[in-house]
Amino acid sequence: MPKIVDHDEYRRELLQKCFSIFCRKGFANVTMRELAAEIGVSTGTLYHYFPSKENIMEQMFEYVQETNVYEFVSRTAHLPTIAEKLDVFVEKWKEYGEFYQNLMLLAIDMMRHIKNRDTEQVFINFSNYYTNAMARELNIPEKQARSLFVYLLGMILHSMLTPNFLPYAEQVDTLRIILDKVLPVNDVLPATGTSMTNTAKIETEEGLSR
Amino acid sequence: MPKIVDHDEYRRELLQKCFSIFCRKGFANVTMRELAAEIGVSTGTLYHYFPSKENIMEQMFEYVQETNVYEFVSRTAHLPTIAEKLDVFVEKWKEYGEFYQNLMLLAIDMMRHIKNRDTEQVFINFSNYYTNAMARELNIPEKQARSLFVYLLGMILHSMLTPNFLPYAEQVDTLRIILDKVLPVNDVLPATGTSMTNTAKIETEEGLSR
Amino acid sequence: MPKIVDHDEYRRELLQKCFSIFCRKGFANVTMRELAAEIGVSTGTLYHYFPSKENIMEQMFEYVQETNVYEFVSRTAHLPTIAEKLDVFVEKWKEYGEFYQNLMLLAIDMMRHIKNRDTEQVFINFSNYYTNAMARELNIPEKQARSLFVYLLGMILHSMLTPNFLPYAEQVDTLRIILDKVLPVNDVLPATGTSMTNTAKIETEEGLSR
Amino acid sequence: MPKIVDHDEYRRELLQKCFSIFCRKGFANVTMRELAAEIGVSTGTLYHYFPSKENIMEQMFEYVQETNVYEFVSRTAHLPTIAEKLDVFVEKWKEYGEFYQNLMLLAIDMMRHIKNRDTEQVFINFSNYYTNAMARELNIPEKQARSLFVYLLGMILHSMLTPNFLPYAEQVDTLRIILDKVLPVNDVLPATGTSMTNTAKIETEEGLSR
DNA sequence: TATGAATGAGAATTCATTCAT
DNA sequence: TATGAATGAATTCTCATTCAT
């Protein structure tokens, strides 16, 4: 009998390990030898599970999507107030900070390297999912949520480029303060009527989200 | 080929031509041969003007900074109203859309490739310069200006990854509408006293910039 | 898969299956994985029966020799006339056409790959055996028989390189016509005295066999 | 100014050097490193002149054909008697013995390796050219000439596989003796009338060429 | 016995860089 | 100053072979 290995399970394990390495250094700056060495297998093993370096990238992109991205949404669904939901969001934004950076870098690498794939659609899906989740959970219009997503993106990028000048964690805290003022944090969901203040705020702040 | 007498002038010309190629494909995906061929010189000539591929990157980073980025500020200095200034900003944001994308990609490549260089400081300078210019010209607090810069960054990135879903030009238009509501567009500058509306708005919008 | 109890018997079975694959593609162009897959076993099994790829080649060479090559000779021994013997020869030449091609290719591969083996002697034995058999059965001098063997070799090679231009089967038919004229086809063997005609013919045709 | 090199001339020089190496060892048994080392250049240089290992093979096949193969025919054209022409043929057969072996091995390698090429046509052309040249120069029917070609092929192959048992040079001598008897060696060409003997012989020997 | 996952040396190929002209 | 031929280290990938199960 052969060595007992759950091929698919192990493949995912390898992908997981590849992810941070690839993102940190960039697709083009990691050699297969390096990758194998850092993971702790031989190059041959890598090629046993993936037909090519490019394919690792592609599979990684898929894997990362289906695995890590959406996990946190379930955490907010049952929470009664927006303030509490926002707490979870902020917590997750911090927790996943590096992950989002990596994802962003990965997306850029995908864009530049992989020709035969609809990278755009993948990112659109991600953007939509995240935007819709925020709109629903935080009870804000989609446009506001999209703006929030865009702002998060900018934050992640800036913090990545200037980690000491604009540390990511601080940026998240700042954003939290903004949102506390801007969002209908005192609403209990699902609430049919929104408070005056709240509505007014949304109108005033409409710009943020339009 | 004309004999370019001014060595330095020609070097800049070459850098200019390298810029879009490097950004579009990414540092690692351009070979010196390709670069030379697209520019229309030999690899030997490239090495006559630059000691290494990495150095082209570095010089390009410097060149791009000192040359293109700040040019537009002078255009707004003499304008009397914020609305007019905003017009110029929006126009420039559109005009330079691709350029900013490239700059962003370049910065990311720099971050990943060039070890012996304070890339962070360069990007901090850029962020500060842009933020300060916007704060001054649009008469808003620095924090607001920084938030605007971060949002621009997010916009550029999202539009780059999903050019068909969120086209950059449309995003700029949307942002313009937001800013028209949020900014003290009717102020005539330099105004010593800020109008009530304006102040109120800034307070209200504080979140955007905090 | 049935449990083959006789190790050696199974080894021969595997060799048999390897033969055409090896010859068709050439030693260097078949991987052990391919070989195993086409045979329907695992690489591990292959290595259970053969110590190395090279060894498969060597064993195959031996196996092929002792097994298939001489089989047909027994078929002609009892036939009374040369014409009848020739019939069997022609029939076998056609039947074994692909086999001879493979053998030839195998011999060339052996010559180029396997250093530690007297490939020459093996082929000399084969040449001698075939030549002697033809000389005896067709009642011609050894030199003529050797020439016939050489001609057969050329035919096989040419037909292999230009299968559409000089199809092997047609070449055999042509050769048969030649031999009908040239050989003492009407002799009944074993004849102690050779007929005049026959002798004359041999003299005339001496060239063919010298 | 660049290093002055006649690119095409040098390419041919490299092909020439590749030829014997490739033939001796076989396409699959020569590494690019080996090839480069034996030729005395770097692998980089090899790839400067040829896009791939396979392409070297293809170009070599073309080059060898157009360069070496047909050269000798011109040597016999002006000779008055068939005997003299035969002298030159024999001389060339001996001189080119190794070359023909190489060509044969190369053809087999081509057959097994190069898929995107009409290897058969190339070999048909060669066979036809050689056959026609012999038919014309030796004043024999095409069929006889083809048989002669096939026999030569067999000789080359057998001598290659058993260089000590059937040395090529001796085989050529033997063939020469055969041909002296069989061919109209005493004819003066272009002779309008063929001697009785001659015609008779051709008729008698028709078998050889059919 | 049989399997096929794992290995890593070695293959083809690329590409930044050098340098003779 | 400009060229592009030449270099060879480093890259991606292959494959014979080993070995735990």
Q: What is the pLDDT confidence band of residue B110, given thresholds at 50, 70 and 90?
A: confident
Q: What percent of chain B has pLDDT over 90?
A: 31
Per-chain mean pLDDT for chain B? 80
Would you call D160 an interface residue with chain C, using a CB distance cutoff of 8 Å?
yes
Compute the distance between CA of residue B192 and CA of residue C203 in angstroms, rounded to an integer: 128
Mean pLDDT of D79-95: 89
More confident residue, C46 or D1: C46
Q: Distance from residue D35 (CA) to nucleotide E9 (C1'), in Å? A: 19
pLDDT at A196: 37
Compute the distance between CA of residue D18 and CA of residue D39 in angstroms, rounded to an integer: 7
**Which residue type, as a one-letter code, is found at position D12?**
R
**Which residue type, as a one-letter code, is found at position B146?**
R
Nucleotide in closest CA–C1' contact with A1: E3
Residues B53 and B158: beta-carbon distance below 8 Å:
no
DSSP sequence for C45-108: HHHHH-S-HHHHHHHHHHHHIIIIITTTHHHHHT-SBHHHHHHHHHHHHHHTHHHHHHHHHHHH
Q: What are phi and psi of A72, to 5 degrees?
A: -70, -20
Nucleotide in closest CA–C1' contact with B4: F1
Compute the distance between CA of residue A124 and CA of residue A113 in angstroms, rounded to an integer: 18
Residues D182 and D201: beta-carbon distance below 8 Å:
yes
Where is mean pLDDT largest: A108-117, B117-126, C2-11, C114-123? B117-126
pLDDT tens sequence across C157-180: 999 999 999 999 999 998 998 888
Taking contacts as CB-CB distances below 8 angstroms, the residues of chain D near C108 are 105, 108, 160-161
Taking contacts as CB-CB distances below 8 angstroms, the residues of chain B near A161 are 107-108, 111, 119-120, 123
Protein-contacted positions of strand E (CB under 7 Å): 1-21
- Could you count the other beta carbons within 10 Å of the beta carbon of residue C3? 5
Q: What is the pLDDT confidence band of residue D8, given thresholds at 50, 70 and 90?
A: confident
Would you call D34 an interface residue with chain C, using a CB distance cutoff of 8 Å?
no
Mean pLDDT of D130-137: 89
Nucleotide in closest CA–C1' contact with D54: E12
Q: Which residue of B has its CA nearest to A173?
A: B210
Per-chain mean pLDDT for chain C? 80
**Which residue type, as a one-letter code, is found at position C49?**
Y
User: How many CA atoms lie within 13 Å of A44's alpha carbon, on the beta-carbon side?
Assistant: 0
Compute the distance between CA of residue A21 and CA of residue B3 in angstroms, rounded to an integer: 47
Q: Which residue of A has its CA nearest to B154?
A: A154
Residues C22 and C106: beta-carbon distance below 8 Å:
yes
**Which residue type, as a one-letter code, is found at position B178?**
I
pLDDT at A31: 95
Q: What is the pLDDT confidence band of residue D192, given thresholds at 50, 70 and 90?
A: very low
pLDDT at A153: 95
For nucleotide E21, give the residue with the nearest CA to its C1'.
D3
Q: Distance from residue A1 (CA) to nucleotide E1 (C1'), in Å? A: 9
Which has the minimum average pLDDT: A172-176, D105-109, D163-167, D186-190? D186-190
For residue B65, pLDDT over 50 is answered with yes
Across the interface, do C207 and D113 touch by the CB < 8 Å criterion? Answer: no
Mean pLDDT of A43-60: 93
Compute the distance between CA of residue B183 and CA of residue B189 in angstroms, rounded to an integer: 13
Nearest to C150 among D111, D151, D207 (CB): D151
More confident residue, A21 or C190: A21
Compute the distance between CA of residue B140 and CA of residue C14 in angstroms, rounded to an integer: 84
Would you call C62 an interface residue with chain D, using a CB distance cutoff of 8 Å?
no
Two tokens, residue D116: 């995107």
For residue D206, pLDDT over 60 is answered with no
Which has the minimum average pLDDT: B196-200, C11-15, D137-141? B196-200
More confident residue, A197 or B43: B43
Q: What percent of chain D has pLDDT over 90?
A: 33
For nucleotide F3, give the residue with the nearest CA to its C1'.
D2
pLDDT at A116: 59
Q: What is the pLDDT confidence band of residue D115, given thresholds at 50, 70 and 90?
A: low
More confident residue, B101 or C117: B101
Q: What is the pLDDT confidence band of residue A151, given thresholds at 50, 70 and 90?
A: very high
Smallest CA–CA distance, residue C124 to chain D, in Å, is 6
Q: What are phi and psi of D3, to 5 degrees?
A: -55, 130
Taking contacts as CB-CB distances below 8 angstroms, the residues of chain C near D25 are 112
pLDDT at B34: 93
Smallest CA–CA distance, residue B46 to chain A, in Å, is 23
pLDDT at B192: 39
Contact residues for D83 (Cβ-Cβ < 8 A; gap 6+) = D180, D185, D186
CA–CA distance from B167 to each of A132, B156, B160, B161, B163 (Å)? 19, 9, 8, 10, 5
Q: What are phi and psi of C188, to 5 degrees?
A: -105, 125
Element (H or E) spanning B121, and its range?
A: helix B119-138
Candidates A169, A170, A201; CA nearest to A185 is: A201
Helical spans, DSSP H, in A96-191 = 97-113, 119-138, 142-161, 168-182
Two tokens, residue C106: 């195998």
Mean pLDDT of C189-199: 40
Would you call C79 an interface residue with chain D, using a CB distance cutoff of 8 Å?
no
Per-chain mean pLDDT for chain A? 81
Would you call B162 an interface residue with chain A, using a CB distance cutoff of 8 Å?
yes
Two tokens, residue A162: 């200037």
Helical spans, DSSP H, in chain D = 7-25, 32-39, 43-49, 53-64, 73-77, 82-95, 97-113, 119-138, 142-161, 168-182, 196-209
Across the interface, do C162 and D210 touch by the CB < 8 Å criterion? Answer: no
More confident residue, A191 or C76: C76
- For chain D, the residue count is 210
pLDDT at B202: 34
Which has the minimum average pLDDT: A110-114, D7-11, D127-131? A110-114
Query: Which C residues between 35 and 94 have a beta carbon under 7 A from any strand F atom?
Result: 43-44, 47, 51-54
Compute the distance between CA of residue C37 and CA of residue C30 in angstroms, rounded to an integer: 11
pLDDT tens sequence across C43-60: 999 999 999 999 998 888
Q: Name the burial class of residue A172, with classes exposed (0-12), middle (13-18) and buried (19+) by CB atoms within 10 angstroms of its CB.
A: buried
Q: Which residue of A has its CA nearest to B102?
A: A108
pTM: 0.77
pLDDT at D158: 95
Q: What percent of chain A has pLDDT over 70?
A: 80
Candidates B169, B172, B136; CA nearest to B151 is: B172
pLDDT at D111: 83
Residues D70 and D63: beta-carbon distance below 8 Å:
no
Compute the distance between CA of residue B119 and CA of residue B14 in angstroms, rounded to an integer: 22
User: Beta carbon of A2 within 7 Å of strand F?
Assistant: yes
Which has the minimum average pLDDT: A33-42, A191-200, D82-91? A191-200
User: Beta carbon of C32 within 7 Å of strand F?
Assistant: yes
For residue B129, pLDDT over 90 is answered with no
Nearest to B151 among A150, A179, A210 (CB): A150
Where is mean pLDDT largest: A162-166, B14-18, C90-94, D42-46? D42-46
User: Beta carbon of A45 within 7 Å of strand F?
Assistant: no
Angle at which helix D168-182 crosses helix D82-95, to 10 degrees, equals 170
Q: Which residue of B has its CA nearest to A158?
A: B150
pLDDT tens sequence across C120-146: 888 888 899 889 988 988 889 999 999
User: Beta carbon of A5 within 7 Å of strand F?
Assistant: no
The DSSP secondary-structure symbol of B30 reads -
pLDDT at B159: 94
For residue A74, pLDDT over 90 is answered with no
Two tokens, residue C45: 């099994």
User: How many CA atoms lie within 13 Å of D179's alpha carbon, on the beta-carbon side?
Assistant: 27
Residues A168 and A156: beta-carbon distance below 8 Å:
yes
For residue D202, pLDDT over 50 is answered with no
Compute the distance between CA of residue A156 and CA of residue A160 in angstroms, rounded to an integer: 6
Q: What percent of chain A has pLDDT over 90?
A: 32
CA B2 to chain centre: 32
Would you call B48 an interface residue with chain A, using a CB distance cutoff of 8 Å?
no
Q: Which domains does chain A show, CATH number per domain?
A: 61-208 (1.10.357)
pLDDT at A78: 83
Which has the minimum average pLDDT: B1-15, C187-201, D79-93, D96-110? C187-201
- Cis omega (within 30 of 0) for bond into C190: yes
